[in-house]
Amino acid sequence: MSTAPSAAPYATRDAGAPGTDGDIPSFEAYGDGDWSDIAEEAVRLGEERIVVNMGPQHPSTHGVLRLMLEIDGETVTEARAGIGYLHTGIEKNMEYRTWTQGVTYCTRMDYLAPFFQEVAFCLGVEKLLGITDEIPERATIIRVLLMELNRISSHLICLGTGGNEMGATTIMTTAFTAREEILRVFEAITGLRMNHGFVRPGGVPLDLPPGVIPEIRTANKKVAKYLGQLSDLMMANPIFKGRLVGVGHLNLAACMGLGMTGPVLRSTGLPYDVRKAKPYCGYETYDFEVPTSTGADAYDRVDLRFKECYESLKIVEQALERLEKLGPGPVMVADKKIAWPGQLAVLGDGQGNSLDHIKEIMGTSMESLIHHFKIVTEGFRVPAGQVWQSVEAPRGELGVHLVSDGGTRPYRAHFRDPSFNNLQAVSMMCEGGQLADVVVAVASIDPVLGGVDR
């Protein structure tokens, strides 16, 4: 059984080149296995060990995550992450549904960032169909608008729950109040607050409702105000800094070795962002920066999330200006063999087909009714092939690998969720540190187990 390093991996900040100085233990120094392995090894060696289970129901584990911690007093000597308790079988279920129905599944994986999963999946389907350049510009701008608002709402959850886990309830209530402003916008546009299923292959099912652009601008101002309050509460607070500075340290070499992305990677000084590295949805035409830092600790990751929220607000404003300048237009691909046949509207009881559309297909056009029935129940065929598509989600690079056998359903749909990769760092961040710092280190990763156990 491997033993933990004697010194804390995060004992000091790196000096010199961003996130590259300082020795890190080899990856072989960190063990794996389950509780039974620990117990058997202890019996064989005749050792007395204290092993603590944090989770799988612990409120600080961001879902159903199990952390197995071996401790010596208050020092963590070994830390292991146990996953799989929230397995939903989403990827497998997608193989038994049409390509459009797959959106309803993948939006529920990382339930705090649903739009990113919808967009990644739909971009992949559109690549397989060869219609990437045919997506209406207005639909693409709406996708960007929703993703950036979603990035802010996701980061607010990270900041709020992280503060609450350290005992600062005011941080959580302020963050959730700010997030509520964004969820109201989502509800006005899609009819739902979460798990929207709004982005579809070929575009989006309906345009922005009247009056929503001024509503978004009002919400942006309120969110910016709440972000300022949160920053004042957290970033200069000596207690907050004492809990976060130097905790959960992970330098650039470790991040590269573990495949870490998102704020954790950017806290080492590397400005890797899929929106810049491999642009999609026209991100190369937007004016925004990719914030970085060099502290490579929990404090810097909080700071980066604040900065990313402000950059997202800038992108949202640019998207709104483009929508106003562009004016009304199509939001779904013109090809009727692919386009969703419904004419959706936000009605009194939620989103559904407009009454005029129902009257047409039910009363005046048998062809429209047959087409509607066929494409909704059977779906469209996608040429055989495979594709990889990635987007920059709040927790890092989210990728989707789609395989088609030429049918109306995916042969295989597999997602690279950033939380799954980032959780590998739990051992390196926690071993050698204090038990209380485990909560802080895990919170700085911001994992969502719905995306991990898909």
Beta-strand relationship, 344-347 and 350-353: antiparallel
131, 335 in Cβ contact below 8 A?
A: yes
The percentage of the chain sitting over the pLDDT mark of 70, rounded to a whole number, equals: 85
Q: Lowest-confidence range among 64-78, 204-218, 312-326, 379-393?
A: 64-78
Q: Contact 181/222 with Cβ under 8 angstroms?
A: yes
Tell me what pLDDT residue 16 has. 39
Q: In whole angstroms, what is the distance from residue 391 CA to residue 375 CA? A: 28
Q: Which residues contact 197 (CB under 8 A, 6 or more apart)?
A: 103, 104, 107, 118
- The average pLDDT across 311-332 equals 94
Cα distance from N-terminal residue to C-terminal residue, the chain: 30
Q: Quick one: average pLDDT of 206-221?
A: 93
Instruction: Spell out the alpha helix ranges (H) of 95-193.
Output: 102-106, 114-129, 137-165, 169-190
Please tell me the predicted confidence (pLDDT) of residue 51.
83
Which residue in this structure is represented by tokens 């905790």? 247
Say which CATH class 90-338+382-452 falls into. mainly alpha
The yes-or-no verdict on residue 8 having pLDDT over 60 is no
Query: Sheet holding 75-82: strands in order across?
Result: 50-54, 66-72, 75-82
Give the model's pLDDT for residue 42: 67
At 398 the three-state DSSP class reads: strand
Average pLDDT over residues 384-398: 95
Which pLDDT score is estimated for 26? Answer: 52
Give the model's pLDDT for residue 32.
Answer: 57
- Interatomic CA distance for residues 451 and 111, integer angstroms: 8
Q: For the chain, what are the domain ranges?
A: 90-338+382-452, 339-379
Cβ atoms 102, 108 nearer than 8 A: no
Give the rounded distance of the alpha carbon of 292 from its chain centre.
19
Q: Could you give the CA distance from residue 417 to residue 74 in angstroms, rounded to a whole number? A: 32
What value does the mean pLDDT take over residues 97-124?
93
The residue with greater pLDDT, 40 or 201, is: 201
Name residue, tokens 């470790």: 254
Residue 259: pLDDT above 80? yes
pLDDT (0 to 100) of residue 29: 52
Handedness of CA 38, 39, 43, 47 (dihedral sign): positive
pLDDT of residue 350: 62
Residue 349 DSSP one-character state: T
Cα(48)–Cα(274) distance, integer angstroms = 47
pLDDT of residue 9: 35
318: alpha, beta or left, given left = phi > 0 and alpha = psi -120 to 50?
alpha
Tens of pLDDT, residues 215-235 = 999 999 999 999 999 999 999
Q: What is the pLDDT of residue 348?
A: 60
Q: State whether the Cα torsion 310-164-70-35 is positive or negative.
A: negative
Rounded CA-CA distance 80/36 in Å is 13
Which is it for strands 50-54 and 350-353: parallel, antiparallel or unpaired? Answer: unpaired
Stated as kind and residue range, the H or E segment containing 439 is helix 435-445
383, pLDDT greater than 80: yes
H-only helix segments in 196-351: 212-234, 238-244, 252-258, 263-266, 274-277, 298-326
Tell me the pLDDT tens digit for each residue of 141-156.
999 999 999 999 999 9
Tokens 């959960």, located at residue: 248
Q: Which tens digit of pLDDT belongs to each residue from 13-72?
A: 343 344 444 444 555 555 556 667 766 776 777 667 788 888 787 776 777 888 888 888
* Mean pLDDT of the 422-448 span: 89
Residue type, 201: P
DSSP string, 405-438: -SSSS-SEEEEE-HHHHHGGGHHHHHTTSBHHHH
Question: Which of 85-94, 109-118, 312-321, 395-404 comes out lowest in average pLDDT?
Answer: 85-94
On whether the CB atoms of residues 424 and 289 are closer than 8 A, the answer is no
Rounded Cα distance between 137 and 209, Å, is: 17
What local confidence, expressed as pLDDT, does residue 337 receive? 85
284, burial (CB in 10 Å: exposed 0-12, middle 13-18, buried 19+)? exposed
Tokens of 229: 């309050």
DSSP 9-63: TTSS---SSTTT-S----GGGS----HHHHHHHHHHHT---EEEEE-SS-GGGSS
